[in-house]
Structure 1
Amino acid sequence: MGELVERVDEQDRVVAVVDRAEAIRERWPHRVATIVCRDGDGRILVHRRPDDASRFPGQLNWMLGGAVDVGESYEEAAARELAEELGVRAVPRFVLKFLCDGVISPYWLGLHEAVVIAPVRPDPAEVAWFDWLTEPELEELVHRSAFIPDAREAFDRYRAQDRGRAHEE
């Protein structure tokens, strides 16, 4: 058996532990934790996936992340993924969660943010290239380039929530 994940329902309640490949093949919802990295100036890290990556080769993303392990919280998974993919440790802050229909499979996407001030050491198996962009630069890139479609939806939801908070203040 490969990577185990928690199969969840439409309310994000665990219904079974399954192989992730099976969850994807059967289109069973499972959990994915993502993390948005900002530098000390508020810029956001954007990266390109390696050309030989099994999922979304050569495409751009503004989030790092991966499947939530069995028994792991979204926050724990986001912190683990940050350490694995960028080689840095930080405490992620939960931002939002939604059921993403997903290009590959449906999943609950938990989006987190972290300020990263330590030098990053990207894992070349996950990150082929990266840069720090301002929000306007990222917004232009998200809608004009080879961005992972799920990442585009997450960005739109993130921006909508951000705008909603600005109106409340």
Structure 2
Amino acid sequence: MTEMVERVDEDDRVVGLVSRGEAVRRRWLHRVATVVCRDTRGRILVHRRPDGVARFPGGLNWMLGGAAEPGETYEEAAARELAEELGVRARPALVLTFRCAGVISPYWLGLHEVVVTGPVSPDPREIAWYDWLTEPRLAELVRDERFVPDAREAYDRWTALRRRSGPAPAA
């Protein structure tokens, strides 16, 4: 079954419905929703992608997520991805959206945050390993060559936003 996405313009307005594969091949903008997960101690979930996946095999990432389905808001897509990838049902809060250059293809990225208060059940097709890291440890790891480049761009924008507005209070 072909995954469909909404093609969007430079202002993140929907201009049509296309397959995700075509959007990537033609470098058309579409929407991706991501979630940064914190535990109750303020640590951030970092994970390694499985070696057998098509995009960024074995790559390290601090966000969960994927393409928004047609008609989904960024928030709805983030909640769906959180449930699919980590087995957590919650309402992530949108922190920022930006046009991500993307290594494979450009896209609009919606970055969300959520505090995870209960157990997690990572989907092994999405997450090969995970750990909860402090922000200083994440700041070191994000410069590792194994870190997914798009995730590094999101991290840089997230930290720049936090420098301007101050960090969110810990749960």
TM > 0.5 between the two? Answer: yes
Task: Measure how far apart 1:47 and its partner are.
Answer: 0.1
The residue that corresponds to 2:132 in the other structure is 132
Task: Measure how far apart 1:146 and its partner are.
Answer: 0.6
Distance in structure 1 (CA, Å) of the matches to 2:162 and 2:29: 26
Distance in structure 2 (CA, Å) of the matches to 1:62 and 1:107: 18
Distance in structure 1 (CA, Å) of the matches to 2:166 and 2:120: 31
Distance in structure 2 (CA, Å) of the matches to 1:166 and 1:97: 18
The residue that corresponds to 1:25 in the other structure is 25
The residue that corresponds to 1:122 in the other structure is 122
Q: Percent identity?
A: 70
Task: Measure how far apart 1:117 and its partner are.
Answer: 1.1
Correspondence 1:91-110 to 2 at 5 A? 91-110=91-110
Structure 2 gap ranges (5+): none
The residue that corresponds to 2:111 in the other structure is 111
| TM-score, length basis structure 2 | 0.96
Q: Which moved more, 1:61-70 or 1:138-147?
A: 138-147
The residue that corresponds to 2:159 in the other structure is 159
User: How far does the alpha carbon of each residue in 1:132-163 deviate from its partner, in whole angstroms, 9 at most, with x for none?
Assistant: 00000000000124100000010010001001
Distance in structure 2 (CA, Å) of the matches to 1:144 and 1:20: 29
Secondary structure class of the residue paired with 2:22:
helix
- RMSD, aligned α-carbons: 1.0
Q: Runs of at least 4 residues of structure 1 off by over 6 A?
A: none
User: How far does the alpha carbon of each residue in 1:14-36 deviate from its partner, in whole angstroms, 9 at most, with x for none?
Assistant: 00000000000000000000000
The residue that corresponds to 1:56 in the other structure is 56
Distance in structure 2 (CA, Å) of the matches to 1:49 and 1:123: 10
| TM-score, length basis structure 1 | 0.97
Which residue type is aligned with residue 105 of structure 1? S
Which residue type is aligned with residue 117 of structure 1? T
